[in-house]
Structure 1
Amino acid sequence: MVSVLHNSPDGEESTVEPAAYWALPNQLIPDQGNRRPISQDSDGISLEAARESEPLTLEQHTALLARRRLLAEQGDDPEATRRHHARGKLTARERIEQLLDADSFTELDLFAQHRATGFGMERSHPSGDGVVTGFGTVDGRSVVVFAHDARVRGGALGETFAAKIHQVLDLAESIGAPVIGLNDGGGARIQEGVAALAGFGGLFARNVRLSGVVPQISVVLGSCAGGAVYSPALTDFIFMTRDTANMFITGPDVVRSVTGEDVSQAELGGAQVHAERTGVASFLADDEETCLDEVRYLLSFLPSNNNEAPPVVASSDDPDRRCPELLRIVPPNERTPYDIRAVIEEIVDDGEYLEVQAHWARNIVCVLARFDGRVVGIVGNQPMVLAGVLDIDASEKAARFVRMCDAYNIPLVTLVDVPGFLPGVDQEHNAIIRRGAKLLYAYCEATVPRIQVILRKAFGGAYIVMDSKSIGSDLSFAWPVNQTAVMGAEGAANIIFRKELAAADDPDQLRAELTKKYSDALLHPYAAAERGHVDDVIDPADTRRMIVRGLAFLRTKRHVQQIRKHPNEPL
């Protein structure tokens, strides 16, 4: 260890470690009138020259730099690191090392320190101020990263802390690189007052400015409370670890004091709550290592910025491969459930896909996958859950996914098997009209290539919303068992022929006859094909090859955007 000896004001010698040495007043820095001897360090670098008249050599300065850098990286509280590991959590730098390609991280502002002077802040000036920022690569592609260091004041954000994040976000915008934020902090630093709040404001403004420009990924690995929650909320994806992550605006103590509700952190804003009930979390991971590996996997589906296409990978899966297994997976009876994910697995490259928000609004499925090596976003109704109806949560989940795909040049494939919108007082009173319109708006707004495949049924307004040709789908294919209409045949017969049924001697027999009549006339795919509402009725086994061919044809699609300040969507 390098140590520096200097004469104190009372004439006695004292030892100062490198970090403190560089923080000494200017009059104590080596110069012609004031010299301090520096002991030989463990590497054998002799600094005895400082006892003589010569100034410190470059080698001696370099030795001090190395020691100071080491202290800054390790932190000055080994016990805090031990406690952090005991909770099953990695340190900020360990997380970055796990996330990025080996030896690719370049740290910025390592020696930055806070400037606060009140409430005990003047007693400690840790290098980096509690956040690690910089850039590196994932699979050879540039990314920007910041990681809260919860060992330093609980990872709370202050003025310098925020300025470091602001800088790397500005760099990400300039070069067009994705941003990954590793969140583990307790909100604003109370001791810094409004300066900390302003730091959050600058962060939020940048999150919005970068939205749709570069992918922004938030990873919550511990606490994310108060104002800190809004930065992840403004980003494209949120990862949370099952047992250690939580997000809430007001914590359990405040909730208890204001409302009297006794609730734990996990019950209030744990990862499982946000993955299953609120939809805040896009992905749920069992541990930090798995979580960070999943972030890398997600990035493999995303472009670096909105001016690029997503990465293309070589695929050994024949683009013309037929899928006869689909005839077994999907029952012809529209009332029999099946798992739409089995359909997706059958048609995409190598059966591989990444599901977004898998645990929330499970009546609709949103995945990233590939056809012929090219990334595609797939939206599909899930007959296994609520028969695949659209409700408030499903509409909002799919709308956000569609808009993300459109922002980052990811073509859309929509697999339709929908009986309609979910009826009920609860849905109506919770604004299904406005919130359901979000999905309609998202599809109508999307300019990427769009292909619709109707598998079995597509009824009412839900058919329109699920990317029908009438709202701009480029290509629409239907299976031969498909039924597309305002509603099912029996319901339609009951309405159209209600007078005849009321007067009939045998209404059940008449209803069956009229239901068949309506079904034969309108409830088959050829009725839609005859009117140009679907482009072709296809053999289900040809679904993959038709999607691949359609996407290849649409690859050069162009769209002229109307000039406007911004749309006024039904938020």
Structure 2
Amino acid sequence: MTIRPELIDKLRTKRTQLTENVSPEKLEELHAKGLLSARERLGTLFVEGTFQELGLHASHSATNFGMATKTLPADGVVCGTGYVGAMQVAAFSQDFSVVAGTLGKMQARKINRTMRHALRNGVPVVAFKDSGGARIQEGVDALSGYGDVFYSNVLLSGVVPQIAVICGPCAGGAAYSPALMDFVIMTRENAHMFLTGPQVIKAVTGRATTMAEVGGAEMHATISGNAHFIAEDDQHAIGVVKQLLSYLPSNNTEDPPHDLTVPIEEMEDPGINDCIPDSPSEPLDMYAVIRRLVDNGELLEVHAGFARNIIVGFARISGVVVGLIANQPMVMAGALDLNAADKVARFVRTCNVFNVPVVTLVDVPGFLPGVEQERGGIIRHGAKMLFAYGSCTTPKITVILRKAYGGSYLAMCSQEMGADMVFAWPTAEIAVMGAEAAVKILYRKEISAAEDQSAKAAEMAQEYREKFASPYVSASNFYITDVIEPQDTRWMVALALRKVLDKRELRPTKKHGNIPM
């Protein structure tokens, strides 16, 4: 039996109508703005010829407000699966050319079906967000659809990686879906994410504002912390997605894509000594250290513009994928504040759920003092760091470069907080507080009695460092694994990582811990 030619023609015509809904002229306009169409985004993400669409013919069927008389190709969202390299990925891309990409019940069903495929098969989800929000014509059906999507986001959380790419508007309740995902990428000029826009804010509060101030990529990447990456355009954003996926496993039962064929070379790196300032009071540029520690000097920094006093990101050390966390003394002396604590806690938990080893580089003078910090809840925020590190069961290696004072010593993953190995440079100072502050408290009378008080204070500060803050004091009490030369850091950390990759740590049976929020 052969299929009648008219049936084949009808199928091909129907497919063309549904997939070629954006005119060449409109595509040219989009490209001029750095935008791709919904289908182009998936075509750029996936290896050519691997995309299989889910629900091409599914579309809106409601009759209210005349919607049934309109043709809604794919109901405003293109869903499917494909391969990014050798990794299968489930993805959906909202189509702004179809009723502004608004979400109704059918669009939500398609998105949920895509996410459930990811859950059942243990593959990452990539979501391209470009939507005017809820489809008003569908009323509560649209709200119900959002609820279904949010529920799926939570269901998938900690099971498979979820990456949101904000390419256009992401307004109102729609913004909660990316907020529930693991990583959010926003394009610099075209993306906006907000609950209430400038017009609503003006009407309710009387305050005039701009879209950039309340929903722009720069604001979310530097102030609110809602965006992890800024991309220059859609192409760049897809490149960031591919970079992220290259460091992550497909799901929480797999290991990251380590390359254990990379040899560990016991090579000294004298150049790292040049990163250390002559004076302990001078700030160390942690990026210079990181470049010498990781393979090819490559770090995929996460939240680069937010809480810049702390650095987090993905890298490889002799082929092993790691989540790297480091104080940045060039900003606020590397002190921990409200935002830095949140940034670290979130990143550590992300590494933990996807089995990524954590390497922590420490040069921290303490938690940032101040009325605003205390009133802002620095105790609660700092406790998030302690909780995140303490509950993290992946391999944890810590290197103390210079300062590690007070509670911040513990918050930066000390041995007591579960670090598997802790190394310290000879320049490390591990103590309740800095030498100068300690001397003022302990030896105030002796200093005030001295003729040259400044010289006496400096002498006592040095004595305090040697007696109480020296890394050898901590090493003698077995609080650190070893004191190492800076030039040996790379290969020592690489060797330690290989030895703890098969680490298995059991915890008490429970639903989950109750992290301080």
**Residue in 2 aligned with 1:227?**
173
Q: CA, structure 1 residues 155+358, in 2 after alignment: closer, same or farther (shift >3 Å)?
A: same
**1:202 Cα offset (Å):** 0.7
Describe how 1:38-187 pairs up with structure 2 within 5 A: 57-75=3-21, 81=27, 84-187=30-133
Task: Determine if contact 1:317/1:350 at 8 Å carries over to the other structure.
Answer: no
**Residue in 1 aligned with 2:182?**
236
**Which one of the candidate residues 346, 371, 375 is aligned to 1:400?**
346
Give the aligned length. Answer: 517
Per the alignment, in what secondary structure is the counterpart of residue 501 of structure 2? Answer: helix
Unaligned runs of 5+ in 2: none
Q: Which amino acid aligns with 1:61?
A: L
Range moving further from structure 2, 307-316 or 362-371: 307-316
Range moving further from structure 2, 454-463 or 78-87: 78-87
> Counterparts of 2:214 and 2:253 in 1: how far apart (Å)?
39
Task: Determine if contact 1:131/1:149 at 8 Å carries over to the other structure.
Answer: yes
Task: Determine if contact 1:479/1:539 at 8 Å carries over to the other structure.
Answer: yes
Per the alignment, in what secondary structure is the counterpart of residue 325 of structure 1? Answer: helix
Task: Determine if contact 1:81/1:151 at 8 Å carries over to the other structure.
Answer: no
Q: Does 1:310 align with 2:310?
A: no
> Counterparts of 1:255 and 1:83 in 2: how far apart (Å)?
31
Q: Which amino acid aligns with 1:68?
A: K
Q: Which amino acid aligns with 2:387?
A: Y
> Counterparts of 1:452 and 1:86 in 2: how far apart (Å)?
47
Q: Which amino acid aligns with 2:309?
A: N
Q: Does 1:486 align with 2:486?
A: no
**Residue in 1 aligned with 2:291?**
345
Q: Which amino acid aligns with 1:127?
A: P
Q: Which amino acid aligns with 2:347?
A: F
Per the alignment, in what secondary structure is the counterpart of residue 533 of structure 1? Answer: coil
Q: Does 1:254 align with 2:254?
A: no
Per the alignment, in what secondary structure is the counterpart of residue 207 of structure 2? Answer: coil
Task: Determine if contact 1:319/1:548 at 8 Å carries over to the other structure.
Answer: no
Per the alignment, in what secondary structure is the counterpart of residue 560 of structure 1? Answer: coil
**Residue in 1 aligned with 2:516?**
570
**1:506 Cα offset (Å):** 5.3
Task: Determine if contact 2:312/2:324 at 8 Å carries over to the other structure.
Answer: yes
**1:226 Cα offset (Å):** 0.3
Q: Does 1:210 align with 2:156?
A: yes
> Counterparts of 2:277 and 2:451 in 1: how far apart (Å)?
36
Per the alignment, in what secondary structure is the counterpart of residue 283 of structure 2? Answer: coil
> Counterparts of 1:384 and 1:437 in 2: how far apart (Å)?
24
> Counterparts of 1:566 and 1:482 in 2: how far apart (Å)?
36
Unaligned runs of 5+ in 1: 1-55
**Residue in 2 aligned with 1:18?**
none
> Counterparts of 2:212 and 2:263 in 1: how far apart (Å)?
43
Q: Which amino acid aligns with 1:452?
A: T
**Residue in 1 aligned with 2:443?**
497
Q: Which amino acid aligns with 1:458?
A: A
**Residue in 2 aligned with 1:276?**
222
Report Cα offsets for 1:159-195 as digits up to 9, x if no partner: 0000000001001000000000000001111111111
Q: Does 1:376 align with 2:322?
A: yes
**Residue in 1 aligned with 2:416?**
470
> Counterparts of 1:256 and 1:531 in 2: how far apart (Å)?
61
Report Cα offsets for 1:224-244 as digits up to 9, x if no partner: 000000000000000010000
**1:334 Cα offset (Å):** 2.2
**Residue in 1 aligned with 2:308?**
362
Task: Determine if contact 1:252/1:262 at 8 Å carries over to the other structure.
Answer: yes
Per the alignment, in what secondary structure is the counterpart of residue 177 of structure 1? Answer: coil
Per the alignment, in what secondary structure is the counterpart of residue 370 of structure 1? Answer: strand
**Which one of the candidate residues 127, 131, 143 is aligned to 1:197?**
143
> Counterparts of 1:285 and 1:356 in 2: how far apart (Å)?
12
Task: Determine if contact 2:78/2:93 at 8 Å carries over to the other structure.
Answer: yes
Task: Determine if contact 1:340/1:381 at 8 Å carries over to the other structure.
Answer: yes
**Residue in 2 aligned with 1:545?**
491
**Residue in 2 aligned with 1:526?**
472
> Counterparts of 1:76 and 1:141 in 2: how far apart (Å)?
29
**Larger radius of gyration, structure 1 or 2?**
1
How well do the aligned residues superpose, as a CA RMSD in angstroms? 1.8
TM-score (norm 1): 0.88
